[in-house]
């Protein structure tokens, strides 16, 4: 029916067990719907695009129940004006309802893009960034509705205690939005991380002294032989079930001990040792031939002590550092490292600091920075770097000097290079 929509005319609409729809006789397309329950909703009807009789009409409901007829009329005028300019509010609402949340699209990015193109370690870090830092704050929000202010809150919150982590979280979110643009989920250039300045990062360089290396070597030997004693808090309810004092020792297996020593002796990264397969080991030439690493294909020089450690390890499965599952690498060395580093009194020392220590010993022995860089597998601009494994004699001597010096300081003098 056609009426002049106002409070008086709406109140005069007849009661019915079905919804009553009325159109305004002055503003074409503007209407009101009166439900049997008495609730009122406002709408506009229009033909999208260029219009015409062949284009089906759409109905777009708008406004709240508290809208007065005058407020609804003004809102309808604005909507019809935007439609005349080519907008389609019903389609926009449908797109909004069907659009993915950050949590949904982040999972899609990690599954379809990140795992195919990024290194496994980076994927793991991104998964943590999404699950632990991003999802709790923006996970339920629509991807296209997240603002720079929303992202800045995440950056600031994480940065209070972990500035470097906060910067990595921003890198992750930025990558998600770049992929969203490729998938046509958001417009190109729409990235709410733009403009957020990274926290200043102060990279920590921690080197173990000779005394610390000696204590670390002693702690590893103690942990893999008799075990390291630990205390029990007798005030806790479960303390009565604790082992007797003479049985309170923590031991680490031969593989964990070997991994810690290899990290020091080779200067390799943690995953390069934990993911090392026997097929990558060339003891005849004293090399670890890694098909992939943080910097791509890589060769690691084995000095005599490192070769002896690998040679003495029992072969159990595919990986040099065996785990409980022969087909999977050891996940980490957190517990073994926490045990021996605490025993050695190494407060605040990370496993990665063993790599820094390897390099520092080389520098202390008078080795050149290019030689040390090659030993650690640092990326070089020269294209001849790819042929480094063909001329390893100077590197072999350098690695040998580092290895012998390290093992001497750690007290593991029984590990000697076996003559061929």
- What is the per-residue burial (b if ≥16 Cβ within 10 Å, else e) of 265-280? bbbbbbbbbbbbeeeb
- What local confidence, expressed as pLDDT, does residue 203 receive? 66
pLDDT at 420 over 60: no
210-410: CATH homologous superfamily?
A: Intergrase catalytic core (1.10.443.10)
- What local confidence, expressed as pLDDT, does residue 387 receive? 28
- What local confidence, expressed as pLDDT, does residue 380 receive? 46
- What local confidence, expressed as pLDDT, does residue 93 receive? 76
C-alpha–C-alpha distance, residues 196 and 245, integer Å? 54
- The average pLDDT across 45-55 equals 79
- What local confidence, expressed as pLDDT, does residue 64 receive? 67
Q: What CATH class is the domain 102-182? A: mainly alpha
Non-local CB neighbours of 338 within 8 Å, separated by 6+ positions: none
pLDDT tens per residue across span 13-25: 888 888 899 999 9
The CATH 3.30.160.390 portion of the chain extends over 2-98
Q: Which of 107, 96, 148 is nearest to 130 (CA)?
A: 107
The CATH 1.10.150.130 portion of the chain extends over 102-182
E strand map for 291-333: 298-301
pLDDT at 406 over 60: yes
CA 362, 366, 407, 277 torsion: positive or negative?
Answer: positive
pLDDT at 264 over 70: yes
Residues 317 and 414: beta-carbon distance below 8 Å: no
Angle between helices 254-266 and 393-410 (to 10 degrees): 130
pLDDT at 97 over 80: no
Q: Which of 65, 55, 66 is nearest to 91 (CA)?
A: 55
Region of poorest pLDDT, from 55-59, 214-218, 321-325, 377-381: 377-381
Task: Please name the CATH architecture into which domain 2-98 falls.
Answer: 2-Layer Sandwich (3.30)
pLDDT class of 393 with cuts at 50, 70, 90: low
CA angle 208, 213, 218 (to 5 degrees): 150
pLDDT at 95 over 60: yes
C-alpha–C-alpha distance, residues 306 and 261, integer Å? 8
pLDDT at 389 over 70: no
Higher pLDDT among residues 246 and 330, named by residue: 330
- The average pLDDT across 205-234 equals 88
pLDDT class of 366 with cuts at 50, 70, 90: low
Residues 116 and 96: beta-carbon distance below 8 Å: no
Non-local CB neighbours of 129 within 8 Å, separated by 6+ positions: 165, 168, 169, 172, 173
pLDDT tens per residue across span 279-296: 999 999 999 999 887 767
Angle between helices 254-266 and 304-312 (to 10 degrees): 160
pLDDT at 234 over 80: no
C-alpha–C-alpha distance, residues 311 and 317, integer Å? 15
Instruction: Tell me what the pLDDT averaged over the chain comes to.
Output: 85
pTM of the full structure: 0.58
Q: Which of 265, 99, 61, 74 is nearest to 184 (CA)?
A: 99
The CATH 1.10.443.10 portion of the chain extends over 210-410
- What local confidence, expressed as pLDDT, does residue 294 receive? 72
- What local confidence, expressed as pLDDT, does residue 199 receive? 93
């Amino acid at each position: 029916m056609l009426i002049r929509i106002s409070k008086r005319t709406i109140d005069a609409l007849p009661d019915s067990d079905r919804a009553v729809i009325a159109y305004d006789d002055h503003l074409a397309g503007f209407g009101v719907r009166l439900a049997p329950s008495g609730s009122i909703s406002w709408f506009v009807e229009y033909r999208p695009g260029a219009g015409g009789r062949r284009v089906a009409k759409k109905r777009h409901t708008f406004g709240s129940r508290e809208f007065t007829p005058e407020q609804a009329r003004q809102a309808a005028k604005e909507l019809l004006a935007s439609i005349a300019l080519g907008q389609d509010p019903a389609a926009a609402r449908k797109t909004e309802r069907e659009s993915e949340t950050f949590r949904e699209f982040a999972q899609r990015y990690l599954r379809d893009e990140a795992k195919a193109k990024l290194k496994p370690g980076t994927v793991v870090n991104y998964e943590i960034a999404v699950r632990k830092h991003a999802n709790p704050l923006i996970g339920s929000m629509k991807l296209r509705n997240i603002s720079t202010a929303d992202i800045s809150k995440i950056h600031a919150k994480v940065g209070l205690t972990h500035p470097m982590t906060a910067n990595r979280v921003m890198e992750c979110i930025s990558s998600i939005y770049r992929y969203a643009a490729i998938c046509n989920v958001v417009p190109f250039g729409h990235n709410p991380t733009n403009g957020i300045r990274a926290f200043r990062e102060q990279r920590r360089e921690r080197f173990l002294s000779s005394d610390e290396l000696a204590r670390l070597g002693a702690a590893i030997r103690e942990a893999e032989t008799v075990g390291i004693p630990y205390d029990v808090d007798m005030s806790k309810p479960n303390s009565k079930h604790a082992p007797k004092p003479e049985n309170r020792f923590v031991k680490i297996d031969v593989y964990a001990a070997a991994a810690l020593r290899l990290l020091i002796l080779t200067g390799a990264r943690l995953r390069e040792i934990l993911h090392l397969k026997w097929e990558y080991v060339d003891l005849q030439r004293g090399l670890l031939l890694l098909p992939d690493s943080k910097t791509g294909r890589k060769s690691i020089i084995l000095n005599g002590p490192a070769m002896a450690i690998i040679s003495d390890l029992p072969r159990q499965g595919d990986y040099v550092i065996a785990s409980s599952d022969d087909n999977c690498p050891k996940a980490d060395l957190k517990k073994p490292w926490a045990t021996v580093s605490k025993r050695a009194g190494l407060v605040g020392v990370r496993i990665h600091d063993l790599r820094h220590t390897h390099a520092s010993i080389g520098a202390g022995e008078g080795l050149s920075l290019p030689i040390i860089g090659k030993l650690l597998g640092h990326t070089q601009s020269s294209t001849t770097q790819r042929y480094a494994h063909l001329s390893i004699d100077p590197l072999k001597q350098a690695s040998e000097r580092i290895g012998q010096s390290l093992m001497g300081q750690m007290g593991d003098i029984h590990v000697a290079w076996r003559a061929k």
